[in-house]
């Protein structure tokens, strides 16, 4: 690879890092061809972009990016694959699902940058799986906001039914 090609790759990576808010670093080196193909297919279905990169080029792109990746560059050892997503927990769920199916630790989770938070180490994968997506949080907020209004409407309706029942009983007595 020539210097011009390397600088172009660094520029492209830096642009992707700058525009993306959810970036996962994984190691897929232990997967065979079939598992790798299945991983790529699963990433496509989940709207996750997967790219294998050279560590040195990625580290230079991280330095060039305007984001603070903290200690994330320290995980750049061995083979590294990047996962870009719009949903914070989607790559974590995918990684965990594939690990369960293959009954191994591959793909190996190295670290993640999720909305300015840094997660490093395989022990952080469960934490990332449990992070709620924006849509899930909005759904919960709407449910919480609707609950008091539903209770008031229900109370008003039951009170009206009681009142009409009492009036009907009184009118039938006379």
Q: pLDDT tens for residues 105-157?
A: 888 889 998 888 889 888 888 888 888 777 778 888 888 888 777 777 776 67
Instruction: Give the per-residue pLDDT at 125.
Output: 86
Angle (nearest 5°) at CA 51 between 43 and 37:
50
Instruction: Give the per-residue pLDDT at 123.
Output: 86
Instruction: Give the per-residue pLDDT at 49.
Output: 92
- C-alpha to C-alpha distance for 94 and 43, rounded to whole angstroms: 8
H/E element holding 81? strand 80-84
- Sequence-ordered list of residues with C-beta below 8 angstroms from that of 113, at least 6 positions apart, any chain: 21, 22, 23, 67, 69, 72, 119
Confidence of residue 101 (pLDDT cuts 50, 70, 90): confident
Confidence of residue 160 (pLDDT cuts 50, 70, 90): low
Instruction: Give the predicted TM-score (pTM) of the model.
Output: 0.75
Q: pLDDT tens for residues 13-58?
A: 888 888 888 899 999 888 888 888 888 999 999 999 998 889 898 9
């Amino acid at each position: 690879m020539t210097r011009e090609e390397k600088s172009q790759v660094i520029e492209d990576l830096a642009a992707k890092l700058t525009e993306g808010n959810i970036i996962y670093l994984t190691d897929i080196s232990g997967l065979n061809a079939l598992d790798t193909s299945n991983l790529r297919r699963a990433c496509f279905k989940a709207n996750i972009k997967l790219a294998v990169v050279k560590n040195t080029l990625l580290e230079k792109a991280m330095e060039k990016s305007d984001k603070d990746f903290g200690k994330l560059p320290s995980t750049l050892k061995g083979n590294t694959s990047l996962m870009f997503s719009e949903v914070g927990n989607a790559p974590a769920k995918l990684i965990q699902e594939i690990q369960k199916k293959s009954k191994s630790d591959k793909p190996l989770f190295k670290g993640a940058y999720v909305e300015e938070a840094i997660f490093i180490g395989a022990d952080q994968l469960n934490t990332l799986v449990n992070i709620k997506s924006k849509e899930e949080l909005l759904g919960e907020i709407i449910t919480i906001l609707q609950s008091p209004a539903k209770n008031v409407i229900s109370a008003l309706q039951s009170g009206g039914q009681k009142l009409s029942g009492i009036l009907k009983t009184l009118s039938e007595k006379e």
